[in-house]
Amino acid sequence: MGTVDRLKERLEHKDYIGKACPICGAAPTLKSRGFDPWGDMGYDCCTEFWLECSGCGIIKAGAYNNINTKDAEAKNEAIKDWNEVVDYVDDLITKTHKEK
């Protein structure tokens, strides 16, 4: 199955988030982990969210929440960051390809 077919298949799923990886065409996966940024509170007070390519795993981008940020906002920020990184990498690939 070609990259275009894989992209169309991913777009049909409800759980699709973010743009496809410009390197391999796979959809990103939303991941998260709790952490204590100060290291002394004894519990995970923040959550880091990031998107990672589910195919090649080369591209990762994300954001985290804190006491003032809700999880949904942090997830949306991670998706926004992912899309910006994908656009940047895609522009680099396209520019490099045109120069040859």
CA atoms within 13 A of residue 90's CA, in its CB half-sphere: 12
Q: Which residue has the higher pLDDT, 26 or 11?
A: 26
Q: Which residue has the higher pLDDT, 55 or 35?
A: 55
Query: Does 39 score more than 50 pLDDT?
Result: yes
pLDDT at residue number 84: 93
For the stretch 43-97, pLDDT in tens is 666 788 889 999 998 988 887 676 666 778 888 888 899 999 999 999 998 887 6
Under the banding of pLDDT at 50, 70 and 90, the label for residue 17 is confident
Under the banding of pLDDT at 50, 70 and 90, the label for residue 14 is very low
Under the banding of pLDDT at 50, 70 and 90, the label for residue 8 is low
Element (H, E) at 5: helix 3-12
pLDDT at residue number 53: 93
